[in-house]
């Protein structure tokens, strides 16, 4: 008896690829990936222009784009973008610069982790925003307290992800390296560090999101510059298109940060299936 394997393989091929045969494959893929978001914006534009949505609250997108463009060309928004990137950037880089090395040490040396874990858990569970008044009292109303607030919230995701990554390294791989006479330093460099890279990247992406989230909060509460401030300020002055322009800028910053990290991860983790 023979089995009709080719026939079975043809049957499991999904039908919709055949029906989409007429459209060019590139267009079909673009429609599948971005169709819904395009429809969302198109719906917004139409609903606002026709008047299904109150244009005072949801202005048509062309007015938002106009506000964004004039904000950028006049340079008014550029200052806000620069200061926001600076705040989030300094905090993120400091958090990463401290979080990764600390996580690598804590993940490897049990007594250090045991000693630091309770206090870290307490700090982590204390909302960073609740501590903002404390930071202001300590560091003043200037840049330092804002950057420190973002740094405070940003360090935990990267720190915990790094600790987790180091602790989850397969003990059998470490033993294999040991069996070839690898020193502790070599095992760290050649086994533990590369094995932790994927979870470190998970932490980096979480931290980047957190940094932007806290940036907005800090700028909304106590700033006179920055994209977060512009969102609030535009709303007070009823410049709704400008408000949306600032909101879209923030979304774009988040997307851009994530895209950079994903790109970096793909380059560093070509070996891993998850990064493909």
Partner 1 sequence: MSVAQISAKGEVTIRDLSKSFRIDGDSLTVLKDINLDISGGESLAIVGASGSGKTTLLRVLAGLTEPDSGSVLIDGEPVHGLGKERAVIFQEPRLLPWLTVLGNVAFGLEVQGIPGDEAAERARHYIRLVGLAEFEGAWPRQLSGGMAQRVGIARALTVQPEILLLDEPLGALDAMTKMTMQEELVRIWTEESVTMVLVTHDLEEAIFLADRVLVLPKTKDTAIRLIDIDLPHPRDRSDPDFVRNRRQLMAEFGLH
Kindly tell me which of 29 and 190 has the beta carbon lying closer to partner 1: 190
Kindly tell me which of 196 and 210 has the beta carbon lying closer to partner 1: 196
**184 binds partner 1 per the rule CB under 8 A:** no
**272 binds partner 1 per the rule CB under 8 A:** yes
**275 binds partner 1 per the rule CB under 8 A:** no
**Cβ 199 vs Cβ 165: under 8 Å:** yes
Stretch that binds partner 1, among 60-68, 115-123, 174-182, 243-251 (CB under 8 A): 174-182
- CA-CA distance, 156 to 203, in Å (whole number)? 9
Nearby residues of 160 by Cβ (< 8 Å), 6 or more positions away:
103, 124, 203
Name the minimum Å distance from CB 182 to partner 1.
Answer: 4
What is the token pair recorded at 76?
């008014």
Kindly tell me which of 13 and 172 has the beta carbon lying closer to partner 1: 172
Judged by CB under 8 A, the residue of 130, 172, 236, 267 near partner 1 is 172
Tell how far CA 202 is from the center of its chain.
9
**273 binds partner 1 per the rule CB under 8 A:** yes
**173 binds partner 1 per the rule CB under 8 A:** yes
Closest CA to 88 of 154, 18, 17: 154
Kindly tell me which of 7 and 181 has the beta carbon lying closer to partner 1: 181
**114 binds partner 1 per the rule CB under 8 A:** no
Closest CA to 214 of 116, 68, 95: 95
**Cβ 226 vs Cβ 83: under 8 Å:** yes
Closest CA to 132 of 141, 124, 119: 141
**85 binds partner 1 per the rule CB under 8 A:** no
Residue count, binding to partner 1 (CB under 8 A)? 23
Stretch that binds partner 1, among 83-91, 155-163, 165-173, 247-255 (CB under 8 A): 165-173
Name the minimum Å distance from CB 193 to partner 1.
Answer: 10
What is the token pair recorded at 201?
């990247």
Helices (DSSP H) in 126-192: which residue ranges? 128-139, 143-167, 171-179, 184-187
Kindly tell me which of 165 and 241 has the beta carbon lying closer to partner 1: 165
Name the minimum Å distance from CB 194 to partner 1.
Answer: 5
- CA-CA distance, 151 to 83, in Å (whole number)? 15
Judged by CB under 8 A, the residue of 53, 178, 248, 254 near partner 1 is 178
Kindly tell me which of 34 and 271 has the beta carbon lying closer to partner 1: 271
Judged by CB under 8 A, the residue of 128, 153, 191, 212 near partner 1 is 191
- CA-CA distance, 22 to 34, in Å (whole number)? 19
> For the chain, how far is it from start to end, CA to CA, in angstroms?
40
Q: Where are the beta strands (DSSP E) in 9-49?
A: none
**Cβ 201 vs Cβ 143: under 8 Å:** no
Binding site for partner 1 (CB under 8 A): 170, 172-173, 175-183, 186, 190-191, 194-195, 197, 269-273
């Amino acid at each position: 008896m023979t089995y009709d394997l080719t026939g079975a393989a043809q049957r499991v091929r999904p039908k919709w690829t055949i029906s989409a045969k007429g459209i060019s494959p590139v267009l079909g893929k673009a429609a599948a990936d971005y169709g819904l978001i395009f429809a969302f914006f198109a719906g917004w534009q139409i609903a606002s222009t026709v008047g299904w949505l109150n244009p005072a609250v949801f202005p048509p997108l062309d007015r938002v784009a106009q506000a964004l463009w004039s904000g950028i060309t006049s340079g008014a928004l550029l200052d806000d973008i620069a200061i926001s990137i600076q705040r989030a950037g300094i905090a993120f880089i400091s958090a990463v610069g401290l979080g990764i090395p600390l996580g690598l040490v804590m993940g490897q040396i049990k007594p250090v982790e045991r000693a630091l874990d309770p206090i870290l858990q307490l700090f982590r569970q204390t909302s960073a925003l609740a501590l903002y008044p404390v930071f202001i009292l300590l560091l003043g109303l200037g840049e330092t307290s804002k950057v420190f607030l973002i740094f405070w919230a940003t360090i935990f995701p990267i720190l915990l992800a790094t600790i987790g990554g180091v602790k989850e390294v397969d003990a059998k791989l470490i033993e294999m390296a040991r069996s070839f006479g690898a020193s502790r330093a070599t095992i760290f460099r050649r086994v533990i560090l590369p094995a932790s890279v994927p979870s470190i990247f998970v932490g980096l992406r979480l931290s980047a999101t957190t940094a932007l989230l806290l940036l907005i909060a800090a700028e909304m509460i106590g700033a006179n510059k920055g994209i977060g401030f512009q969102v609030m300020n535009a709303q007070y002055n009823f410049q709704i298109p400008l408000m949306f322009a600032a909101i879209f800028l923030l979304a774009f910053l988040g997307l851009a940060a994530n895209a950079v990290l994903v790109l970096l991860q793909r380059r560093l983790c070509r070996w891993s299936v998850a990064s493909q």
